Amino acid sequence: MSDAARYEEWVSAFSTSTDFEADLVRDRLDEAGISAVVLTQRDHSFNLNVGDLSPVHVMVPPTEAEAAAAVLAEAPLTDEELERAAMEADVMAPDAHDPTSEARLDSGIDEISLEVPEDDEDEDDA
């Protein structure tokens, strides 16, 4: 089954206009054990935010929509709680996701190649 077919019935648990906010919400749901993916309709060719014209959704399975809403309705952590968690974190802990799943969770590319593409052999023969 393709990824597109797998997520076809999923519902939007959160909507924003920025990728980074959607990534934070997805990570929060993931920490709570709720499957979530970011569906972005932004054009990553240009760093342009046009608000509601290019929504970014955090999608969850319909069976987990209520649980996701409950997690997102909880009060956010205080600065003190965040600092304590950061100080207690194990810097040697393995990554939470393997490279394959991390790529599927990513809402954009990490780098862009600005190198001139090599000539196409077919064009040289014309």
Which of 54 and 123 is assigned the larger pLDDT? Answer: 54
Compute CA distances 16 → 2, 74, 120, whole Å: 26, 18, 41
Indicate whether 34 pLDDT > 90: yes
Chain CA centroid to CA 89, Å:
22
68 vs 78, which has greater pLDDT?
Answer: 68
Position 87 scores a pLDDT of: 87
pLDDT at 93: 75
